[in-house]
Amino acid sequence: MKAELLSLLYPRSISLETVGSKAHDSITSDDINVKLSYSKVNSVELNLIFAKFLNNDECKSRLFWELYDFSKEIIDEKYARRYLEVAITERILVCCPFCNGTGVMIFNDKVEFCPHCKEGNFIYSDDIVANLIGIKPQKFKKKKYNEIINKLMDIENSALSKIGDT
C-alpha cells in the first residue's frame, strides 16, 4: 500500500503532535478507526476502500458477494460471476501487473515502453476484458459491463466523499 494514498485517505492524529519529541506524521490504526467511525461509510463502501487501498482479499470477496445479485440482474447468471470479478479487478488493480506500474519493461540489453499500460496504468481494452471474462470479443456485452463498472465507481465516489477525499 502506498503511504501517499493512505495519507489522502486518513487524517493525521492530533495526539501525535502533542507527544513530546515523538511528533511525526505517521498514520496509526487509531487514526483510521476514528476517521471511519465518523464517516458513516456502509459495508459495501468500506469493503471497496479496503480492497482497493489496502489490497485486502477478504474485503474483495465480501464486495463480490454484496454485488453479485446486482450483476445477476444485469447479465445472464452464467456470466454474471465473471463480469463482476473482472469489473472489480479493473476498479481495484489500476497498476500494470506486467511492468509493476513503471511504464517500462527492462530487458537484458534494452528498455522499452510497456505495451500493456499507459504511464503505468493498465489499459483495460474491450479485447482484454473479454479475454479476462473468458469469452470471445464478439460476445462481450460492453453496455452491461459498463453498468457494473459505473456501479463500482458510484460506490467508490460515495465512500471517498464520506471520508472527505473529494
Higher model confidence: residue 3 or residue 161?
Answer: 161
Domain assignment present for residue 98? The answer is yes
Give residue 73's pLDDT band: very low, low, confident or very high (50, 70, 90): very high
150 part of a folded domain: yes
**How many structural domains are present in the chain?**
1
Residue 106 structural domain: 60-162
pLDDT of residue 25: 61
In a domain, 27, yes or no: no
User: Using one digit for the tens of pLDDT, what is the confidence trace for 89-128?
Assistant: 999 988 888 888 888 988 888 888 989 899 889 999 999 9
pLDDT interval class at 19 (50, 70, 90): very low
141 falls within a domain: yes
Residue 4 forms part of a structural domain: no
More confident call, 99 vs 25: 99
**Average pLDDT of 38-66?**
90
Flag whether 41 is in a domain: no
Grid cell digits, residue 123:
489499459
In a domain, residue 10? The reply is: no
Judged against a pLDDT cut of 70, whether residue 13 lies above it is answered with: no
pTM, two decimals, is 0.76
pLDDT, average across residues 61-78: 93
Q: Does a structural domain hold residue 145?
A: yes
Query: What value does the mean pLDDT take over residues 16-31?
Result: 57
